[in-house]
Amino acid sequence: MLLDVSSVSKSYGKRPVFQDVSLSLDPGETVALTGESGSGKSTLLHLIGALDAPDTGDITLAGTRYSTLGDRGRAGLRRNRIGLIFQQFNLIAALNVGANLSFQARLAGREDPGWTAEIARRLDLQDRLEQMPETLSGGQQQRVAIGRALAVRPDLLLADEPTGNLDEANSDAVLSLMLDLVAQSGTALFLVTHSAQVAARLSRHLHLSQGQVT
């Protein structure tokens, strides 16, 4: 088992988001999480990504329990073991495409120029490495965000509506590329989506409703 989410609960003020949620992922597995707007999908992803802490319960990734980590340890986990992709591309405007692609891997001290070049080629970015993010289309910017997250060869890739800002054609193309690269790298994928069509392309489909995952 790569990821173990054990009896996790989260509330904001007096409003419970979910209670006693448990799930697991195996290495290399791809899992989709669907649910209605406001059901807590993104909150759960943020907890798994060590961006927030649960009120109760615990999360373990590759043998590391989140509850044993301080801020520095959680930051190190995000840098070295987790790739994050959001609906907003969150590229660094001052860096060109090539520097954006290698940014997380460099921070983690795990830059592999050969793997980064392979990612750029597979994402059809090899001729755009010197361009700045603002010159790219939305689909191209999301490809850079995917490549940046995978360049570090994370154990777990977390994606929150990664194609939500793209048209249907670009959404299908970007999702296909992401799934191909995940399979090639052996990375596990946990993807939040509102789309049953997107969820159907992953190996397992979970649904969050009324505070419970089924």
**Distance in angstroms (rounded) separating the CA atoms of residues 147 and 117:** 10
Q: How far is it, in rounded angstroms, from Cα 39 to Cα 35?
A: 6
pTM for this model (two decimals):
0.94
The rounded percent of the chain whose pLDDT value lies above 90 is 86
The CA-based angle 199-200-206, given to 5 degrees, is 50
Nearest partner of 174 among 133, 112, 113, 122, judged by Cα? 122
Q: What pLDDT band is residue 164 in, cutting at 50, 70 and 90? A: confident
> Is it the case that residue 107 has pLDDT exceeding 90?
yes
119 and 181 Cβ atoms separated by less than 8 Å: yes
Q: Is 149 helix (H, G, I), strand (E, B) or coil?
A: helix
Domains of the chain as residue ranges with CATH: 3-68+80-193+205-213 (3.40.50.300)
- Helix, strand, coil shares, percent, the chain, to 5: 40, 25, 35
Q: Kindly state the average pLDDT of the residues 156-171.
A: 89
